[in-house]
Chains A and B, each alone.
Chain A
Amino acid sequence: MDMRTLLGLALLLPMLAVAAETGTALKDDSLRAEPYADAKLNGKFTRGEKLEITGKQGAWLKVKTTKSTGWVRLLSVKRGTSTAGSSATGVLNVASGRAGTGQVVSTTGVRGLSAEELKAASYNAAEVQLLESYTVTHTQAQQFAVSGKLSAIEFKGLAASKEAE
């Protein structure tokens, strides 16, 4: 089965149908007709543009601009309305089961870790010992990976993008 067939099959899976969530474009990018890199172009948007997020599939978001609709890599979009305000959890969180834990309500023993508190803190030997008592060996971690059907793969690493330098 080739990659395209697999992708085709993946498309048949029910897409997350969610009510719209707002997002902001992190960069200039193109919209695609399908959620993969060489799909037909379906328009573009510019950095800072407001988008409506209507779905998610793998690493792709389905978005609506004022002019068109299409798929875009999820890292081209910042979810939520603005960095300054919203604490709304948003539909994607609801879809992924995060709703309900999104707003942390502190119960007892509220502790801050401000710069001042860090500087004023003193060494806690008992806690260091406790921390070290939980240490796991490489072999134990391998067993844990196997039990989750995690297998290590070769992946070279990510270079900083040239534009960012």
Chain B
Amino acid sequence: MNPRHALLLSTLLCYGLAVSSQAHAFDLGNALKDAVKQQTGGEATTGSEVQTPAGSASTQTSFNWKSPSPEEEMALGRQLAGNLLGAAPLVKDAKLQAYVNQVGRWVASQTDRQQLAWHFGVIDSDDLNAFATPGGYILITKGLYRKLDNEAQLAGVLGHEVAHVVKKHHLKVLQKSQLLNLGASVIGDKVGKGDQTLDKVIGSGAEMMARGLDKDAEYEADRVGVALSVRAGYDGYGLPEVLQTLGQVNQSDDSVTLLFKTHPSPEDRLTRLGDAIGSRLDGVNEGKLLADRFYRLPK
């Protein structure tokens, strides 16, 4: 069984279990067949060719939760990013925003999702945090940006967020919760798929941003983030350096409440990264820090 099928199966198992606890009439066999067809059919093709029932593609009235196309993924991420921007708008500094997009896009170019548009922004908040939403929308707070010292550290932070997008961490969480809802509404003999509009998922999106991902997703994003910065030619220790900095912030400080609630402790993240890195970076060409080029915010 390839990993994709294993994942699909486990997703469907969760789906099936949750549904069967509510009723017994649900036809898991058919749902499985349908989903396998869509996943395998969708995987090898481009987004627009993903098999979806006629007329139910990326419109506002329907969203293919089983196998979202890249367009649907981006539309979803755009909504969630728009909500984050509703909480904290962009810092009005065009040079800063341009710089962050250049660094971020270069890091994202080291992934296998180069076809995404990738948008990066610094938001006006003194919190220390960064966010990724599906489809390549990435926001970092001004508070965290101010803690950075060089371009390698910025690349590390953005690499961690890019990893969430590439690994579809948030998308998978939303898919799971929406498929559960979908299952419930099928059982309840209500409108099924047609009822799952994008708007309705925004509440659960904000909920997810506030609750965070599971720890393994964060550890994985740390590892991928380091790997991406190394591939991009940066010093691979940028992200660990930022984690060291975060580890020195007083945990009771308001600026880190959400960050520490939604992520494992900097200590645990450093330990895991240390174990994963080991001697792996020893033979690698010396990466760049680019402290001189780093865009510094006015005091």
Could you list which residues of chain A lie within 8 angstroms of chain B, going by C-beta atoms?
Answer: 26-27, 36-37, 58-59, 73-76, 78-80, 83-90, 93, 96-98, 101-102, 104, 106, 109-125, 127-128, 130-132, 134-138, 140-142, 144-145, 148-161, 163-164
Contact = CB atoms under 8 A, between A and B. Distances in A.
A83 B247 CA distance: 6
A109 B89 CA distance: 11
Interface stretch (B4-12, B35-43, B48-56, B257-265): B257-265
Interface stretch (B16-24, B118-126, B177-185, B189-197): B118-126
A39 to B, nearest CB: 12
Given A123-B83, A134-B97, A76 B210 contact: no
Interface stretch (B25-33, B60-68, B139-147): B139-147
Interface residues of B, number: 100
B266 to A, nearest CB: 7
Contacts of B285: 153
A144 B97 contact: no
A118 B87 contact: yes
Interface string B117-156: 1111100111101000000010001010011010100000
A87 B127 contact: no
B82 A117 contact: no
Contact of B251 (A84, A110, A111): A84
Contact of B89 (A86, A102, A124): A124
Contact of A151 (B90, B233, B265): B233
Given A112-B254, A113-B125, A118-B83, A131 B90 contact: yes
Nearest to A163: B275
22 contacts: A26-B270, A26-B274, A37-B279, A78-B247, A83-B247, A96-B149, A97-B291, A113-B88, A121-B86, A127-B90, A130-B90, A131-B97, A131-B119, A134-B97, A134-B120, A134-B121, A136-B105, A141-B109, A145-B232, A158-B223, A158-B226, A158-B276
Contacts of A88: 248
Contacts of A84: 250-252
Nearest to A29: B274
Interface string B264-299: 011100111111111111101110101101000000
B234 to A, nearest CB: 7
Given A84-B251, A121-B83, A123-B86, A79 B244 contact: yes
B270 A115 contact: no
A136 B101 contact: yes
A84 B252 CA distance: 8
B233 A153 contact: yes
A159 B146 CA distance: 31
Interface of B: 78-79, 81-90, 94, 97-98, 100-106, 108-110, 114, 117-121, 124-127, 129, 137, 141, 143, 146-147, 149, 151, 202-203, 206-207, 209-211, 219-220, 223-224, 226-227, 230-234, 237, 240, 244-245, 247-255, 257-258, 261, 265-267, 270-282, 284-286, 288, 290-291, 293
A112 to B, nearest CB: 6
Contacts of A79: 244, 247-248
B83 A122 contact: yes
Given A37-B279, A134-B119, A135-B119, A153 B86 contact: no
Given A97-B149, A101-B146, 8 more contacts: A27-B275, A75-B274, A78-B267, A98-B245, A135-B101, A144-B105, A150-B288, A152-B231
A90 B105 CA distance: 32
Contacts of B106: 141-142, 144-145, 150
A103 to B, nearest CB: 10
Contacts of A106: 126
A146 B289 CA distance: 14
B278 A78 contact: no
Contacts of A75: 237, 240, 270-271, 273-274, 277
Contact of B288 (A101, A131, A149): A149
Contact of A117 (B87, B105, B224, B234): B87
B290 A132 contact: no
